[in-house]
Structures are given as structure tokens and as C-alpha cells.
Structure 1
Amino acid sequence: MIKVRKICVDKHIDSAGWFGVAWLLCIIPLSWILPPQISWENGILENSQVMILFVGVFMSFYFYIEDLSSQGKKLWASIGAFFVMLAGRELSWGRVLFQTKLTPSGPELIAMNQLPHSNIIQGIILLFILSVISALIYNIPWDNVITIPLPIMYLTLGLSSFILSAIGEHHWLLSPKQGQTVEELSELLAYFMIVKIVKYYAASLKNNSIC
């Protein structure tokens, strides 16, 4: 007989959750009034995203030091590498340092295939991404994680942010300038929620909070 595990949710809304709701509701209105320069490559919003992701890196390092088990250290090393991977993506894997020209729609970066030894660089990046994903799949204690109540507010805000980011990226129902701002504002909230979700599960695992 197949045993179906009970799924329970954590419906509690803390200050971070309410902040996320307010931020989500303000994304479209803000995209109407903020200057488009704020969402350019290597701009304020993108650098803010990287800062949040490095908060995740430092948080992972803290939990790595605090956890005395070898399995726990592997877990937090994997999560820290995951945040580094996301930061690398936001920085276009370093291409933000190589601006070719400035256009009315923002700076243009050098194409990856124009970098010296681009094939080697792309291979290293691909290997890094696959290694991080594999490490996460292997090191996350899934049997324990699935017993923890789902942080429904954080998950809903994170998913909504990614959906809104996709809408902005593809300019669905939005002008290109507005779409880019919506995309960056949404990603900023999404990364904040990822950090909160990781912190939530870290606290739940430590306190043995189960359904």
C-alpha cells in the first residue's frame, strides 16, 4: 500500500511576509514612476539583488560554522554555492565588467562568445551549475524537509515574483522600459523570499518543527 504523507502548511504571516505583500503590490505602480535607468545592467536594482544574494552566502557560511555535523556542513556549503551561482547569473558571469557601449535602453555588455577562451569559460560555468544542483539534491535532508510545514506565504510571494518577473522580461502587456523595471523589482523580491525560505527551513530543522 502506498502511504500518502500528510502535507501541512504554516499560515503565519510575519513582518517579512507583510513587507513582501506590500512590495509585490507596489511593483507595477513603481514601474510607472521610477526612471528606467534604475533597472539597467549593473544598476541599482541589479546590484541590490546581488547584495541580497550575498546575504544568503554569509548566512550559509554562518550556519556552516555553527553546524558541527559533516552532513550539515555539506548542506550549507551547497546552499552557499547556490547563492553564489544566482549572484553570478545576475552579474552575467562577470560580463558586467565589460561594457561595450551605452545605448538609450542601457549599457550593452560584451557577448559571452567574444570573451577570450569563451568555450572554456562556458564549460566551467556549466560544470559549476551542474555541480551545485547535484550537491543540493544530494545534501538536502529530504526526509526531514518534507515533514516541515510549508511556509505558504514565502512560497506564494516567491512564486508570484518569478511569474511577474517573466511577464516583465517578455514585456507581456507592458512597454519594454516598464517591463524591465518590473522584471528587476520582481527578482529583488524573489531573492529576498529565497533567503527567507532558507532561513525558515534552517530554523525549523534546528528546532525540529514538524507537522
Structure 2
Amino acid sequence: MTDAPSRARVGGSGTTFWNIVVLLGLLTTLPVSAVLPANWGWENGPLENAQALMLFAGAVTAMWAAVRQTEASTRALWWTAALVWLVMAGRELAWGAAFLAPRGFDDHGPIVSSSVLWYRPAVPWICAALLLIGLTAMWRSSAWSRVVARLHRERAWPWFRWLLLVVAMLMSAVAEEHTKQHLPFPYVPASTPIAEELFETWGYLALWLAQWQVMAHMRRWRTH
């Protein structure tokens, strides 16, 4: 259930506990979404707001890790991670459209679209530029060989939590009908938006926990 080679390094039973929490969350998403109020699946609803907070918390945590580093390579890694979190948070907030009045309402609640934003065409270019800056900083500071490769050698990558993230995002895409598959669900269409948001929420939690696991492992480097 946990990453066995790194259990002693990054938390042991605590790591296993949170893996089980996320796994159980994914397994119970469909029945839970059938009993939650419909507004939990709305744009700017409780789940989406929780996701935005989680993404910003991930960014702040990565920034906190960056400023505590003494080596340029590890700083570059965490600043790049913070940029990724911020891009994800921007997407979750529809690049700012979530703070505007909804364009209308349908069966799934308020309609929020970033197409009304005058700067929307520039968003992909800005995101790409930010990520390129982060990756370039990692290359110039040798973060790939000094940090990424070392984490790989020490088997510190949280593979199971990344797997949970992938499963959660795939199920969210299925719930949103972005694939040819459909949920085994008798509650369509009322419950599928809630299921989509719940899957995303568990996925973001898995990603946040994965980052924390890597941070916990890297803290040991300073003590040795």
C-alpha cells in the first residue's frame, strides 16, 4: 500500500494511513456523491472551493520548501513545483472567471467560462513561459542530476500516491464524459458532477501528500 523502499525514510505508518484514506475516498466516491446536495458539484461549490484552497496550499508549501533550501538545485525544484501548483489553481478558478458573476444557470448550476476574459488568449503562453522558466532554472542549477536523479536512486518517489492521482483524474474525466467510458451509475445526470469534483478533490489530495512525502525525505539530507 505504501512505497516500501522509502517507508522508513518518509513516515512509515503515517504514509500508509494517508494512502488508505485516499484509496477509500476514491472507492466510496460514487455512493457518497449520490447523497450529497447537488450544489456540491456546482462551479464555485464547496468541492471546487476546497480544491482551489488545496492547490494554493500546495503552492505555498512548495514555496516554503524553496526558501528553506541552501542549494540552488533544490530551490529550483521547489520553485518549479510551486509554479505547477499555481497553474493548476488558475485553471481550477477558470483563470479568474470564477470571481465574476455566472453567465447563467443550467441543470448543473451556475455557468462559469473563461471565454469572457479579455486576457484569456494569452493564458496558455503565460503558463508555458512560467513552466519554461522553472525548467530552465532546474537545468542551469543541475537539479536534474543533483536532486531528481538522487531521489530516484534513493527510491524516494511516491509512486503509489501518483498512481492514486492518475486514477482519480481518469475517473474524473469519465464522470465528465470526456472519454468513451461511462460511470456505472444510476444517478445520472444529477450525481455525476459531484462525482467528478470528488474524484478531482481526492486526486489533488494525493498530489499534495506526494509532495509532502518528497519534502519529508529531502529534510533528512540536511541532517546527514
TM > 0.5 between the two? yes
Residue 167 in structure 1 maps to residue 180 in structure 2: no
Q: TM-score, with normalisation over the residues of structure 1? A: 0.81
Q: Which amino acid aligns with 1:41?
A: E
Aligned to 2:152: 146
Aligned to 1:21: 23
Q: Give 1:108's match in structure 2, choosing from 102, 106, 111.
A: 111
User: Is the CA contact 2:80–2:131 (under 8 Å) kept in the aligned structure 1?
Assistant: no
Distance change (3 Å), C-alpha of 1:43 and 1:135: farther
Residue 206 in structure 1 maps to residue 204 in structure 2: no
User: Is the CA contact 2:83–2:130 (under 8 Å) kept in the aligned structure 1?
Assistant: no
Q: Which amino acid aligns with 2:151?
A: V
Q: Give 1:190's match in structure 2, choosing from 200, 203, 209.
A: 203
Unaligned residue ranges in structure 1 (runs of 5+): 1-7
Q: CA deviation at 1:189?
A: 0.8
Please give the alpha-carbon distance, in whole angstroms, between the structure 2 residues aligned to 1:176 and 1:129. Answer: 37
**1:50-199 counterparts in 2 under 5 A?**
50-98=52-100, 99-112=102-115, 114-128=116-130, 131=133, 134-135=135-136, 138=139, 139-140=143-144, 141-149=147-155, 150-170=157-177, 172-173=182-183, 174=185, 175-199=188-212
Please give the alpha-carbon distance, in whole angstroms, between the structure 1 residues aligned to 2:138 and 2:170. Answer: 24
User: Is the CA contact 1:144–1:205 (under 8 Å) kept in the aligned structure 2?
Assistant: no
User: Is the CA contact 1:95–1:110 (under 8 Å) kept in the aligned structure 2?
Assistant: yes
User: Is the CA contact 1:10–1:152 (under 8 Å) kept in the aligned structure 2?
Assistant: no
- Cα-Cα RMSD: 2.6
Query: How many aligned positions are there?
Result: 200
Q: CA deviation at 1:135?
A: 5.0
User: Is the CA contact 1:167–1:179 (under 8 Å) kept in the aligned structure 2?
Assistant: no
Q: CA deviation at 1:10?
A: 4.6
Structure 2 counterpart SS, 1:33: coil
Structure 2 counterpart SS, 1:177: coil
Distance change (3 Å), C-alpha of 1:159 and 1:75: same
Q: TM-score, with normalisation over the residues of structure 2? A: 0.77
Q: CA deviation at 1:117?
A: 4.6
Q: CA deviation at 1:86?
A: 0.8
Q: CA deviation at 1:59?
A: 1.1
